[in-house]
Amino acid sequence: MERSSAETRVRELQDLLNQYNYEYHVLDKPSVPDVEYDKLLHELKKLEEDHPELVTPDSPTQRVGGTVSEQFKKVSHRTPMLSLGNAFNEEDLRDFDRRVRNSIGDHITYICELKIDGLAVSLRYEDGLFVQGATRGDGAIGEDITANLRTIRSIPLKLKKPFSIEVRGEAFMPRSSFIALNKEKEKQEELPFANPRNAAAGSLRQLDPRIAASRNLDLYLYGIGEIGETGVQSQSGGLDLLSELGFKTNNERRKCKTIDDVLEYVAEWTEKRAELQYDIDGIVIKVDALSHQEEMGATAKSPRWAIAFKFPAEEVVTILHDIELSIGRTGVITPTALLEPVLVAGTTVQRASLHNEDLIREKDIRLGDHVVVKKAGDIIPEVVSVILERRTGEERHFSMPDQCPACESDLARIEGEVALRCLNPKCPAQIQEGLIHFVSRNAMNIDGLGEKVVAQLFREKLIEDVADIYSLTMDQLINLERMGEKSASNLLKAIEASKENSLEKLLFGLGIRHVGAKAAKTIAQNFETMDRLREASEEELLQINEIGDKMASAIVTYFEQEEVSELIIELKEAGVNLTYKGPKLQRAENLDSSLAGKTVVLTGKLVQLTRNEAKEKIEILGGNVTGSVSKKTDLLVAGEDAGSKLSKAQELGITIWDEDQLLEEINGQEV
C-alpha cells in the first residue's frame, strides 16, 4: 500500500478502534464483537509495522487496554493483566513459533487452552481465604467486584491449602443460563442480551449482588498472577496446582511439542466449538515453561510467549437499504451502510462501516443490493462484497455529496487523503463532536456530561465552544430533559473539579490534530505552561523526540488562530488550570543521576514501588527502561524472586541493584 493510502487507513482505523474501545470498556455497551475488533487491530498493527513513521502515541496498538469505570472501587493489580497478541491464520501461528524458537531455541513445549468468551477477572486469596476479586480493567487497575464474584459457586471461598495467592480466570455465562435469562427478559418486555459474553459482563457489574447471583455464572481459572513460593515451574503445572487447590480449570487443554501439533488442536476445536456448553472465541497458545516465559518477556501491552488464535468471522447476506453520512470532529465524512437487520456472530447488525467513497466505488455498492456482511475479527460489521447475481435492475447508485450535510459548506479532499472533509471550522457537527471529545474520560473527564447531554446543550445553544461549559448555571441545566436538581448539581461539581486538571488533559481535550493523550503529556512535561507552549516554534517542538514534523506543524498552526487565542483567554478567566501538575521532567544532560542515559531492566517483585512507578521515576532521571537483558543493558534492578534475567545479567557482567539502591538514587534526586 502506498504511503498516502496507508496513512489515511491508519488514521481511520485508529479513530474507529478508539471508539470501540470506549464503547466496550467505558460504556459497557460494545457495538461490535471481539473478532471484528481484533481483525481491524491486526490490520492496523501490520500497517504500522510497514510504516513505523505513522505510529502515534494515541494509537490503539500503544495501549493495553480500556478506561476504568467509576462505579466500583479501583483495585491495582500487583502484576499487570496484559492482553494477548492475536493470530488469524496458520501463517500467523508459524510466525509466532519462529519468534519463540529464535528467542529460546528448539527445546520448547506449548500448552493450548480454549479461549473462553467472557470477562477476565483476578481473585486474591490470603491464607487460603478469598478476600478480593477484580475485573481486568485497563490491565493495571480494575474494579472491585468481590461481592458479585462470591455468588459464582465454582469459585472456592476457602482453598484446600492455606495459600496466599492471586489467580486469574474467565467468568462466563453458560448457554443454558443465557437462554433462560433472555426468556425471562422477554417475559418482562425488556431488551435481551445480544450474547453470553455481554450478559456475563453486565451481570458482574451489577451493584446489587443478588442480581449477579440469579444469573448462574461460571468461571474457569487459566493462570496464576504471582507465582511466589508455590514451586510452580510451568503453565501446565500451575493449572494442576489450581485444580489441587479446589479451583475449576478447563480439562480440554493439551501440551504440544510442535507447531503442527498446535495447528491440529486448533483445527479440532474450530470444528467442535459448537458442541461445548459455553462460548469460545479462539485458542490460547502459551510457552509452557515459566523460565522460558521470563526469558522472552513482554511488551507494554502483551507477553511475547503467548498468542491467541481467533476463529474465522461468520459471513451472512442481507440487504443494504441506504447509506448514512456522519461528520467527525476533524471534518471527515464517513459513510455507513444501513442494513436489513441480520444476526452476525451472535449479535444483530443494522449498520456497517463503508469507510470512504473509494471503497463504495471499488466494491460497486448500490442502494438495494444484496450484500455479504461479516464482523472483521468478529467485532466491526463491514460489507465484504455485493452479490451481483441478485441484482434486479432497481438498485440505485450512491454518490457522495458536494456539500456538508450539516452546514452545506463545500467538501474537499486534501491531497494524499482518501476521505472527504468539511473544512468549515464553524460546522455544527464538528463543533458538537469536538465538545464530546473535550469532556471525555481521557480528556477533561467531566462525569455526567455525556453525548446526549452535550447534544441537548448544543441544540439549545447553551454551549457553542468548550469555554461555554464553564459558564453553565443551575437554571440552565434543570430545564434539560431528564436533568433533575441533583443531577444538575453533580454535573456542576464535576465541571468545577475539571478546572483543576493538569495541562495535558486540557491539551488532549482541545483536539489539536495529531496530538493524542500520550503526546499531550509529553508536550505538557516539556513546556509546563500553556503560555510557553503557545510561543513555541516548530524547531523547539521538534527537539522533543516523540514529536514529528506533522505534529509540530499542527500545534503551531493551531495556536496561530485568533479564535484559539480568544478561547485560551476565556478558559483562563473561567479558572481552568493551564499548568502541568505532574512530575517534572529532568533532562539527562542536566542530571547528576547515575541513571541518566542508561538502559535499565526491572525484574522480580518490587515491594516499595510498583513497576509503573519505578519505570516513571527512572525515565524522569533520564534512564530508558526495557524489557529484556542484552549486551546493551547498563543496569538491572532485581526485586524479590528475580529469575533468569538476573542470571543472564550476572553472566554478562551487568551492574545489578536491589530496590533499596534504586530508591536511594531516586530519593537523592528528589523525584
Q: 65 falls in which pLDDT band (50, 70, 90)?
A: very low
According to the 3-state scheme, what is the secondary structure of 427-457?
A: CHHHHHHHHHHHHCCCCCCCCCCCHHHHHHH
The answer to whether residue 312 scores a pLDDT higher than 70 is yes
Any residues with CB less than 8 A from the CB of 418 and at least 6 apart, and which? 5, 8, 9, 356, 357, 358
The answer to whether residue 473 scores a pLDDT higher than 90 is yes
Distance CA 346, CA 633 (A): 49
Comparison of pLDDT for 575 and 50, the residue scoring more: 575
Q: The C-alpha cell of 486 is what?
A: 441533583
394 and 377 in contact (C-beta within 8 Å)? Answer: no
Q: What is the pLDDT of residue 22?
A: 53
Q: Please determine whether the domains at 3-63+313-390 and 428-498 fall in the same fold group of CATH.
A: no
Average pLDDT over residues 77-97: 90
The answer to whether residue 227 scores a pLDDT higher than 80 is no
Dihedral angle computed from the Cα positions of residues 219, 221, 225 and 228, in that order, rounded to the nearest 10 degrees? 130
Q: What is the pLDDT of residue 267?
A: 92
Percent of the chain topping pLDDT 70: 92
Distance CA 668, CA 592 (A): 10
Q: 543 falls in which pLDDT band (50, 70, 90)?
A: confident
Q: The C-alpha cell of 341 is what?
A: 437487520
105 and 121 in contact (C-beta within 8 Å)? Answer: no
Distance CA 121, CA 325 (A): 39
Comparison of pLDDT for 579 and 561, the residue scoring more: 579
62 and 68 in contact (C-beta within 8 Å)? Answer: no
Q: The C-alpha cell of 428 is what?
A: 455544527
φ/ψ of 64, rounded to 5, equals -90, -40
The answer to whether residue 376 scores a pLDDT higher than 70 is no
Which CATH number is associated with domain 74-310? 3.30.470.30
**Backbone conformation region of residue 42, classed left if phi is above 0, alpha if psi is from -120 to 50, else beta:** alpha
**Backbone conformation region of residue 602, classed left if phi is above 0, alpha if psi is from -120 to 50, else beta:** beta
Average pLDDT over residues 556-560: 92
Q: What is the pLDDT of residue 35?
A: 66
The answer to whether residue 185 scores a pLDDT higher than 90 is no
Q: What is the pLDDT of residue 63?
A: 44
532 and 602 in contact (C-beta within 8 Å)? Answer: no
Comparison of pLDDT for 620 and 496, the residue scoring more: 496
φ/ψ of 445, rounded to 5, equals 55, 55
Residue holding cell 542508561?
A: 598
Segment 317-370, tens digit of pLDDT: 899 999 999 998 888 899 999 999 988 766 788 999 888 888 899 899 999 999
Q: In what order do the strands lie in the sheet with 599-603?
A: 624-626, 599-603, 635-638, 655-658
β-strand pairing of 218-224 with 315-327: unpaired
Residue 176 burial (C-beta neighbours within 10 Å; 0-12, 13-18, 19+): exposed
Side-chain half-sphere exposure of 482, counting CA atoms within 13 A: 6
The answer to whether residue 98 scores a pLDDT higher than 70 is yes
Task: Of 27-31, 90-94, 112-116, 247-251, give the lowest mean pLDDT range.
Answer: 27-31
Comparison of pLDDT for 23 and 496, the residue scoring more: 496
Domain 503-573 matching CATH 3.30.420.10: the answer reads no
Comparison of pLDDT for 414 and 657, the residue scoring more: 657
Distance CA 84, CA 306 (A): 7
Look at residues 97, 450, 122 and name the one whose alpha carbon lies nearest to residue 263: 97
The answer to whether residue 475 scores a pLDDT higher than 80 is yes
The answer to whether residue 453 scores a pLDDT higher than 90 is yes
Look at residues 266, 272, 268, 299 and name the one whose alpha carbon lies nearest to residue 284: 266
Look at residues 485, 483, 406, 475 and name the one whose alpha carbon lies nearest to residue 449: 483
CATH T-level topology, domain 588-668: Rossmann fold (3.40.50)
Distance CA 526, CA 399 (A): 47
Q: What is the pLDDT of residue 586?
A: 56
Distance CA 603, CA 293 (A): 13
Distance CA 250, CA 237 (A): 14
349 and 341 in contact (C-beta within 8 Å)? Answer: yes
Look at residues 483, 429, 481, 424 and name the one whose alpha carbon lies nearest to residue 458: 429
User: C-alpha angle with apex 416: 413 to 417, nearest 5 degrees?
Assistant: 50
Residue holding cell 538476573?
A: 646
Any residues with CB less than 8 A from the CB of 660 and at least 6 apart, and which? none
Q: In what order do the strands lie in the sheet with 110-116?
A: 85-87, 306-310, 280-287, 110-116, 254-256
Please give the C-alpha separations between residue 141 and each of 81, 115, 136, 148, in angstroms, as whole numbers.
9, 22, 7, 18
Q: 26 falls in which pLDDT band (50, 70, 90)?
A: very low
Segment 151-167, tens digit of pLDDT: 888 898 888 888 889 99
Look at residues 254, 219, 248 and name the one whose alpha carbon lies nearest to residue 235: 254
98 and 258 in contact (C-beta within 8 Å)? Answer: no
Q: The C-alpha cell of 306 is what?
A: 503467548
Coil, helix or strand at residue 378: strand
Distance CA 168, CA 51 (A): 36
Coil, helix or strand at residue 307: strand
Q: The C-alpha cell of 56 is what?
A: 502515534
Q: 67 falls in which pLDDT band (50, 70, 90)?
A: very low
Mean residue pLDDT across the chain: 86
Look at residues 375, 533, 450, 488 and name the one whose alpha carbon lies nearest to residue 31: 375
Q: 545 falls in which pLDDT band (50, 70, 90)?
A: low
Q: What is the pLDDT of residue 670?
A: 61
Task: Of 80-89, 151-160, 309-318, give the lowest mean pLDDT range.
Answer: 309-318
Q: How many CB atoms lie within 10 A of CB 361?
A: 13
Average pLDDT over residues 283-308: 91
Annotate 204-219 with DSSP letters as a single string: HT-SSHHHHHTT--EE
Q: What is the pLDDT of residue 71?
A: 65
Query: Where is mean pLDDT largest: 246-260, 267-281, 309-323, 611-625?
Result: 246-260
User: C-alpha angle with apex 98: 94 to 104, nearest 5 degrees?
Assistant: 140
The CATH number for 3-63+313-390, chosen from 3.90.1570.10, 3.10.450.40, 2.60.40.420, 2.40.50.140, is 2.40.50.140
The answer to whether residue 457 scores a pLDDT higher than 80 is yes
Q: The C-alpha cell of 54 is what?
A: 505513522
Average pLDDT over residues 601-619: 84
Segment 396-422, tens digit of pLDDT: 999 999 999 999 988 888 776 778 888
Q: The C-alpha cell of 400 is what?
A: 457522495
Look at residues 199, 193, 197, 207 and name the one whose alpha carbon lies nearest to residue 145: 207
Average pLDDT over residues 240-252: 92
Query: Where is mean pLDDT largest: 33-37, 146-150, 321-325, 623-627?
Result: 321-325
Query: Where is mean pLDDT largest: 190-194, 364-368, 513-517?
Result: 364-368
Q: What is the pLDDT of residue 57?
A: 58
Look at residues 270, 361, 254, 367 and name the one whose alpha carbon lies nearest to residue 309: 270
Cite the active site residues.
115
Average pLDDT over residues 446-459: 91
φ/ψ of 424, rounded to 5, equals -80, 110
Which CATH number is associated with domain 428-498? 1.10.150.20
Dihedral angle computed from the Cα positions of residues 234, 238, 244 and 249, in that order, rounded to the nearest 10 degrees? -120
The answer to whether residue 25 scores a pLDDT higher than 70 is no
Distance CA 671, CA 669 (A): 6
Q: The C-alpha cell of 639 is what?
A: 526485586
The answer to whether residue 64 scores a pLDDT higher than 50 is no
Q: Where are the domains of the chain?
A: 3-63+313-390, 74-310, 428-498, 503-573, 588-668
Residue 419 burial (C-beta neighbours within 10 Å; 0-12, 13-18, 19+): buried
Q: 66 falls in which pLDDT band (50, 70, 90)?
A: very low
324 and 336 in contact (C-beta within 8 Å)? Answer: yes
